[in-house]
Every structure is written in C-alpha cells, then in structure tokens.
Amino acid sequence: MASEIKVPALGESVTEGTIGEWLKKPGDAVAVDEPIVSLETDKVAIEVPSPVAGVIGELKAQVGDTVEVGAIIATVEEGATAAAAPTAEAAPAESPAPSASPAPAASPSPDKNEGTVASDASQTLSPAVRRAVLEHGIDPSAVKGSGRDGRLTKEDVIAAAKAKGDETAPAAAPAPAASAAPAAAASTGERKTERVKMTRLRQTIARRLKSAQDTAALLTTFNDVDMTAVMEARSKYKDLFAKKHDIKLGFMGFFAKAAHLALKDVPSVNAQIDGDEIVYHDFVDISVAVSAPNGLVVPVVRNVDQKGFAQIEKDIADFGKRAKDGTLTMDDMAGGTFTISNGGVFGSLMSTPIINPPQSAVLGLHRIEDRAVVVDGQIVIRPMMYIALSYDHRLIDGREAVTALKIIKDAIEDPTRMLIDL
C-alpha cells in the first residue's frame, strides 16, 4: 500500500515552499519520522518526515520546484522495508570489492553523484557539500558528519580539507581524480561561469531588504565603545559562569541587556509603524542575526527584559546551532521588536545595517581592536568597538536615536548600570 507524502503546513501566511534537497531517492528504505526531503520557505528550511516505514516510491517533484501546502510530492510503499533492506545490502556482502568508490567513479554525472553517502550515516550529500568534496578532494566516507542525523555539512568538509596536510595517502587519494577537470580547464585558460538559481530564502532576504530601503527613511548614527570593562568582567567571571550555567559568557548577553535599557528609556526605538499608527511594545523581543548555510536568519530571543545573562546566552547559542543544522522553525523567527547584528565576528570595522521590517531600528556591532584614545587628558591604548544604530527616521528622531545609542555605550562601558537599572 502506497502512502502519500504531502507538503505540511509551513507556518502563518506561508502557502508554498521550494524543494531544496531530496534526502532519499526511489528504492531507499525509510523509517517512521525519518526526513525524506528538505523544503525551503521564505524564512527557514524544514525537513519533511515520512509518516510510515517502507520504501520510497515515486518522487513527484524535482529539486527547485515550487510546491503548495497540501501538494503530494512523493509516495512511500508501506511494509516494504524488510524486503528492500536485504536487497540493498546483498551486493556489498557478496562482492565487497566494488562497494564504495567504483560506482561514483564510473558515473561522474551530477545525477549519479547525488547518491554519494557520508560516513556511516548513509545520508545523501547536498549540492553544496558535494561541490566542496570535489573541490577539496576529500573522501566523504572518511569524515564524520556534524549535521542532523550525522549528515555531512560543508563546514565538515572544509575542516577536513584544512587538516588534510597531516593525513596519509589513503585520505588524499581521491584528490587527483577530483581535481583533474579543474586542472585541465586551468591549463587551457578557459574561463567559466555558473548560473545557480537563488534559494527561496535568499530571494526573500533580497526582497525584504530592498523593501526596507524603498519604504523606510533610513539613517544611521555611530558611536564607539570602550570594551575594557566588559572584557575584564568576562575574564574574571567566565569560568565561574560556565561552571554554574553550563554556557560561555559572551558579548551578546551584555549588548542585549544594554539594548533593553535603551529601548525602555526610548520607547520609539522599540516601536513600529502600522499604517498611520505607531505600535509601542511593553516587552523587548530581540532578533539576533545568525549566519546559516542558506543565508542570514534572525531568530528571536523573547522577553529579554525578563531574562538574565545566562538564559540569553543559552538562547543565542541554541539558535546558532540550529541555524547551522537547518532546524530553526517559523515560530523561532516570528515577531521581534529590535535587531542586533554582529558583523564583528567576520572582521567588519564599520557598517550601516539595514532594519528588519516591520521593526524600526537595528544595532550593528563590529570588531574590537586596540586604538589610541584620550582618557583624562592622557593617550592610552584601549580595546574599542564602533557601534551603529540604523533607524527609520519616519518614527525615530535623531535625538532619540543618538540617546538610545549613548545609553547602550554607557551601559557597556560601565556594566554596573545594568544591575542598578541606569
């Protein structure tokens, strides 16, 4: 009996998604609740599990196809697992010689390569991972995957490539075959281009950011912050903090709490425009920009005004891990009254971040570097960071924006203010 796999409900106001990757192919055995396909929506990528155990039948949609909620995208033949599993394993058992590398080597076409498996997890490699494997000459079966269900990620391949210099010949053996084509192309001086369709998430990011520029009256104000006090506090208490709360004490907790003080004192920075009305919030839900494999996502740390440093750091760490694994949900992204984006982790010195509609302001953090500054008439070296507040000038006046940023600066330079509500 064949069961139909349908596109599940994808969240409020989301009516369709795009087939991002088939995790199983026809003939593969599948267990109950085992993911078979990854769907890309406007906000996140989600995995659709099989409702029954059996064998994958027909795939009714291809990678890149747009499918609506409720559409049938595949079938599963129930009860066929027991019959299919021995058949799949029979060939390796009887003839061990051609088990791993000969099949991909004999058929190097992209379609056949989709059947490549990673390590013991027997998971299909995504296009990005497959491209990285070929580029770096890495044997995927020799790399342990850190993704969901042990699947190989692009980061795993890159890490393995960096360590490849210390490996022996067996690990490096696939490299000549993988790099033969690029070497030939380089010798002929051929210049290539590649067209890749934008993911649904990237299209949405582009549309929303352009809409923010077209709709809002964007302006950015800057300041710089002496990070000495925060760095000393981290250095002094990081071990005790980690021991008690089982999480590292990072900078984002300090900036989230400092932002809470600013948003409380300057409510318009925590508000938004809805038609001809201004919506003020008596709570602080901070969207934290997180880098994910398919683009930037902004999960929301809720009720920052009611949380301590430890819970904020745990929430942010959890979002970062799930963004990497592709397991963030639509609910994780919903809402948010203010955004913090930390370009400093990538080395950015200064930027003008774009607001995340319908929010009215975003705080941009940047890298910390030692600079000569004047303190009490003396030139000293201090760890300094530029901070930027981009805001919608339709709602927030310059005085309010500068005041909010100054409150954040003062709280970071004197963290005691966060404890005594100054």
In a domain, 207, yes or no: no
Where a domain ends, among 61, 77, 98? 98
Statement to judge: residues 72 and 183 lie in one domain: no
Statement to judge: residues 24 and 53 lie in one domain: yes
172-181, 255-264, 336-345, 381-390: the lowest-pLDDT one: 172-181
Burial 244-272 (b: 16+ CB within 10 A, else e): eeebebbbbbbbbbbbbbbbeebebbbbb
Q: Where is pLDDT greater, at 250 or 146?
A: 250
The catalytically annotated residue of 265, 393, 410, 414 is 393
Contacts of 124 (CB under 8 A, 6+ apart): 21, 22, 23, 24, 25, 114, 115, 116, 117
Write out the H or E segment, with its range, that includes residue 295.
strand 295-297
Chain centroid to Cα 59, Å, comes to 28
pLDDT at 345 over 60: yes
Write out the H or E segment, with its range, that includes residue 384.
strand 378-392
46-60, 76-90, 357-371: the lowest-pLDDT one: 76-90
In a domain, 258, yes or no: yes
Statement to judge: residues 90 and 108 lie in one domain: no
Statement to judge: residues 263 and 249 lie in one domain: yes
**How far is residue 304 from each of residues 58, 301, 310, 357, measured CA to CA in Å?**
47, 7, 11, 20
pLDDT of 58: 83
The three-class DSSP label of residue 345 is helix
Statement to judge: residues 324 and 231 lie in one domain: yes
Q: Across-strand partners of 74?
A: 5, 59
Statement to judge: residues 302 and 163 lie in one domain: no
**How many domains are contained in the chain?**
3
Q: Across-strand partners of 222?
A: 388
Where a domain ends, among 197, 231, 256? 197
pLDDT of 335: 85
pLDDT at 255 over 70: yes
Catalytic (active site) residue 397: yes
**How far is residue 173 from each of residues 101, 137, 139, 168, 178, measured CA to CA in Å?**
11, 8, 8, 9, 10
In a domain, 11, yes or no: yes
Catalytic (active site) residue 111: no
Statement to judge: residues 404 and 286 lie in one domain: yes
Statement to judge: residues 184 and 244 lie in one domain: no
Statement to judge: residues 263 and 359 lie in one domain: yes
CATH number at residue 56: 2.40.50.100
pLDDT at 48 over 80: yes
In a domain, 211, yes or no: no
Statement to judge: residues 239 and 385 lie in one domain: yes
In a domain, 206, yes or no: no
The catalytically annotated residue of 397, 410, 414, 421 is 397
Q: Scanning the structure block, which residue is given the tokens 């409900």? A: 9
Q: Which of 15-29, 146-160, 165-179, 257-271 has the highest mean pLDDT?
A: 257-271
pLDDT of 391: 96
pLDDT at 286 over 80: yes
In eight-state DSSP terms, residue 139 is -
Looking at every residue in the chain, the average pLDDT score rounds to 79
In eight-state DSSP terms, residue 298 is -
In a domain, 50, yes or no: yes
d(CA 42, CA 12): 11
Reported confidence tier of residue 262, pLDDT bands at 50, 70, 90:
very high
Statement to judge: residues 274 and 139 lie in one domain: no
In a domain, 19, yes or no: yes
Where a domain ends, among 60, 80, 98? 98
Domain that holds residue 353: 217-419
Mind listing the pLDDT tens digit for each residue in 218-236? 999 999 999 999 999 999 9
Mind listing the pLDDT tens digit for each residue in 99-132? 443 344 333 333 433 333 333 334 456 656 666 7
In a domain, 208, yes or no: no
CATH number at residue 355: 3.30.559.10
pLDDT of 295: 67
Reported confidence tier of residue 13, pLDDT bands at 50, 70, 90:
low
pLDDT of 162: 80
Statement to judge: residues 242 and 389 lie in one domain: yes
- Cβ contact 140:125 at 8 Å: yes
